[in-house]
Amino acid sequence: IKRNRGKVTKLEEGQQYQFRVKAVNKAGPGEPSEPTLSHTARARFVKPRIDRSNLENLIFKVGQCVMIDVDVIGEPPPQIVWTFQDKDIVTTDNFRIDSVDNNTKLFMAKAQRVYGGKYIIKATNSVGMDEAQFDVTILGKPGKPGGPLKVADVTKNGCKLSWNPPEDDGGSPVEYYEIEKLDPLTGQWLPCGKSNGTEANITGLQEGKPYKFRVKAVNKEGESEELETDKAIIAKNPFDVPTKPGKPQLKDWDKDFVELAWAPPESDGGAPVQKYVVQMRDKDERNWVDVLTVPGDRNNGRVQDVIEGHEYEFRVVAINKAGPSPHSDVSNSVIAKPRFLAPYIDRKNLMKKVIPSGQTLKIIADIKGEPPPAVKWTIKGKPITNNRVIIDKRKEKKKENRLRT
C-alpha cells in the first residue's frame, strides 16, 4: 500500500480485531505502529432489531427483584426508550434502565401488583425503528373482598352471608373464600365455613348470642385482607313461638274416643302454626303423652287411644317454625263411656218380697243411663209420699252412670 489508508477484507462478522501499520522500504520493514482499539466486524448501518426471546411468559411475584435483559441490534447504536402505561420509564427508587451498546436492561427493585401490565421497548437510529410490546404479570395475594359483607335470613342457629369479589384477584384466580365468626364466649375469631362463591349459609350459632363475621379471599399466593361486618347480629329467629292455644272443649265422647275442639293461639308468633299436638293424661297418673297431631289449619280432633272406664284430661300445644308454644289450660276431665244410653233398670232385686208386718223393707235397684235418668218410685200408680218411706239415690262411678235407689 503506497497510500496512508487501506481496506481490510475477509473479516468474520462479529469477531473483534485490532490493527497496526508498518512502513517498508528497500532496507526492510520498520517498527509497527501502536495497535488500534478493538473493533467488532459488523455492518456500519443496520436498522434496529429487538431480540424478543426474553420477552415471553414474564411472570414474577410481589416483592421479587426483577431484571428484564434484552439484546438490541442496530448501527449506529439505537436510542432505546421503555414505556409503561403510555409513559416513558425513568430511573426512580424502584426502576432503573441500563442501556449499553447492543443491550438494554430494566431493573425493578421490588415488584408490586401495580407494575403488572403492558410494556413497550422502542429502539430508533438513523436507519429505522423497531418496537416490541410484551406483558408482565406480577402475582400476589388477592385484594380485600368487595363490601359490604351483608347478613340476611338470621335464625336462632344460623344466617346467610353475601359479599362481592375483590377488585384485584392477585393475578391468579380466587380459589375459595374463608369465613370466620367472632366467638362471643372466647372473643376469638374462629373458622365457620368456606365458599367457592360470594355467598354462604352459616350454621352452628348459639341462640341469643351476638356474632360478627369476616371473610377473606384465597388464591395460590395466599390470603387477602379480611372484610368484616359493620355490626354484630343476634342469633334469633325473626319470629317467636305461638302463645298457648285455648282450653280444649269436650265435644263428644264414647267408650272408645273423645272429640275435642280448641281456639287457636291469640298470636302465632309471626310464623303460621304448622301443627297442633294433643296431649292426654290418665287422671290417676302424672305423665302427659302425645296422642294426636293435626295440621295447623284445624282446631279439632278425635282421640281414640282411650280405655273404657278411665277418666282423662287433655291439653294442646301449637307449633310453628320457632318451636312449640306453652301448653293450653287443661280440659275438664271425661270418662271414656257412652254419652247417650237409654235407661235400664236391673230387675234382679225386684222380685216379689214377703216379710212380717213391722219389719223394715229394703229394696235396691241398679239403674243405668246417660245422661243420668230421673227416678221416681210409685205405689198403686201414685208417688210415694209417706214420711215413713225413705228413698236414697246414690251415684256410683262405673263405666256408665249407675243410680242405686
Point out the domain boundary residue: 312, 336, 360: 336
Point out the domain boundary residue: 235, 270, 289: 235
The whole-model pTM stands at: 0.56
Residue 201: inside a domain: yes
Clarify whether residues 254 and 332 are in a common domain. Answer: yes
Clarify whether residues 227 and 254 are in a common domain. Answer: no
Residue 280: inside a domain: yes
pLDDT, position 39 = 83
Residue 257: inside a domain: yes
Clarify whether residues 260 and 326 are in a common domain. Answer: yes
pLDDT, position 403 = 44
Residue 79: inside a domain: no
Residue 383: inside a domain: no
> 478493538: which residue's cell?
38
- DSSP readout, 215-272? EEEEETTEE-PPEE-SS-EE---SS-PPPPPPPPEEEEEETTEEEEE-PPPS--TTS-
Clarify whether residues 260 and 332 are in a common domain. Answer: yes
pLDDT, position 206 = 93
Residue 98: inside a domain: no
Clarify whether residues 285 and 315 are in a common domain. Answer: yes
* Per-residue CA distances from 295 to 30, 237, 259, 300, 319 (Å): 127, 22, 16, 10, 10
Clarify whether residues 293 and 225 are in a common domain. Answer: no
Residue 41 in grid coordinates: 466486524
pLDDT, position 393 = 65
pLDDT, position 405 = 45
pLDDT, position 342 = 84
| pLDDT one digit per residue (tens) for the chain, 405 residues | 667 888 888 888 888 999 999 988 989 998 999 999 988 887 778 899 999 999 999 999 999 999 999 999 998 889 999 999 999 999 898 999 999 888 999 999 999 999 999 999 999 999 999 999 999 999 999 999 999 999 999 998 999 999 999 999 999 999 999 999 998 888 899 999 999 999 999 999 999 999 999 999 999 999 999 999 999 999 988 888 999 999 999 999 999 999 999 999 999 999 999 999 999 999 988 899 999 999 999 999 999 989 998 999 999 999 998 899 999 999 999 999 888 888 888 888 788 888 888 888 888 888 887 778 888 888 888 887 767 667 776 655 444 444 444
Clarify whether residues 259 and 231 are in a common domain. Answer: no
Point out the domain boundary residue: 283, 318, 336: 336
Clarify whether residues 209 and 253 are in a common domain. Answer: no
Clarify whether residues 224 and 260 are in a common domain. Answer: no
Q: Structural domain of residue 286, as residue ranges? A: 249-336
Beta carbons within 8 Å of 246's beta carbon, 6+ residues apart:
262, 263, 264, 316, 328, 329
Clarify whether residues 254 and 220 are in a common domain. Answer: no
pLDDT, position 297 = 95
Residue 123: inside a domain: no
Residue 52: inside a domain: no
b/e string for 59-97 if b means 16 or more Cβ within 10 A?
ebebeeebebebebbbbebbebbbebeeeebeeeeebeb
pLDDT, position 295 = 97
Instruction: State the CATH number of the domain containing residue 300.
Output: 2.60.40.10
Total domains in the fold of the chain? 2
- Cβ neighbours around 109 below 10 Å, total: 11
